[in-house]
Structure 1
């Protein structure tokens, strides 16, 4: 199993709960210095700590996965392609930004999108085309952003899925078989 460094996400979870490092360390049964090392990516997030986090806070383990970082990295690469080509930003810099400061990375992406939209509107106005599209995106982008903003979590659908799982007796590890039998 690969090591998971999720310091920024762990810190964000702690700050959202308005907890000090000492408070969270106490809940997790670890020392504050160990928690500090995990938050600063000096130590990986261990499976026992991950299990305690999911149990204590009801957080989906996927919250700490690198998939979120991978998507953010891809968006940053696309938005900053020119800067990368000119070697003003390295791949390591992008990885650090996405991993350590995901909130800043998302704001940077949003600013880049707004800049692009304004540039397109300005070019349209200068050409006399003056499109009324405003800030419209493609349907694909709208849907992608909808799910991305919600971290692929839709409460009503999740509750309905849990109800269905209880109703038909699906147990962890038996999802595919139970759903195949049901269908």
Structure 2
């Protein structure tokens, strides 16, 4: 039975190594064999550091995995992420970049905030009858809270994306037709475009009756790639 380990968010340590060697993100991404956008997400703690990259970096720099996890900043950031996932903060959300900046530049303030939140949850559990009635959540709020609880990380989806990326040819230009063909061959989904979607505030949708993925018209290439992926 596999061991359920916590995910490692090591953006600060990864950034320290890169700046120590005076490398650009593009250079380090090339050394690790990953995309620039993926490295950017790792450094911003938007994605956890997977085992294969952890071992590769440790081998390259002569480190042990403990070096990445032995940091109060990482634990403080994780606690802040979990705290901000509470529905009480739904009207005042923070981006991961905001939280990472707060942890780096105002750690004492973050600790005070976390202490206050723990006191709040203790009082909430001790005297639930004194709390005001809370209106039931809308379906999209329930989904949003679930995504927050997962820290926007879904292991099966992440592994599938990594596996797909590894099957691409070494020269990875022209990713859009590759994704389009993958959707057609694996899921029977065709791609069409709609000139009215952007005005409706939609970024993409699926017509299951027609097995069609519908995208907005005249979107930048990076946006089309994101929606297809």
Band of TM-score, shorter chain: 0.3 to 0.5
Higher relative contact order (CA 8 A, sep 6+): 1
Larger helix percent: 1
TM-score norm. by structure 1 comes to 0.39
Larger strand percent: 2
